Amino acid sequence: MMKRVAALALALPAGLALLVSPAAAQQVSNERDIGELRLGQRVLVDDGSCQAGQIKEVSGSQMTTSGVLRTRKCIPRLGTKQKR
């Protein structure tokens, strides 16, 4: 019984991380920096290809025989741009 409780205690934080991570989008400065994209994953790319006030969103939208299909669209930029 104790092994089940310990396994559940370890599995719960990992499950919560899976629920939180797809909603939060990662941000990079170049689309080449993305690497392998998972199904449903969203990455914000600040490469200047969208008009002012927008940012490019690259998402893994569909599973194909050759891997995950990427879709790109410009979405409104939320918040202020931060310098790094």
Q: What is the pTM of this model?
A: 0.62
pLDDT for the residue 33: 87
Q: Which long-range contacts (CB under 8 A, 24 or more apart) does 13-19 make?
A: none
Distance, in Å, from the CA atom of 36 to the CA atom of 62, rounded to the nearest integer, reads 14
Separation of alpha carbons 36 and 67, rounded Å: 9
CB atoms within 10 A of CB 39: 13
Residues 15-62: tens digit of each pLDDT: 444 433 444 678 888 888 888 999 999 999 999 999 999 999 999 999
State the Cα–Cα distance between residues 64 and 58, nearest whole angstrom. 16
Q: Identify any residues that bridge with 64 across adjacent strands, giving them in sequence order.
A: 67
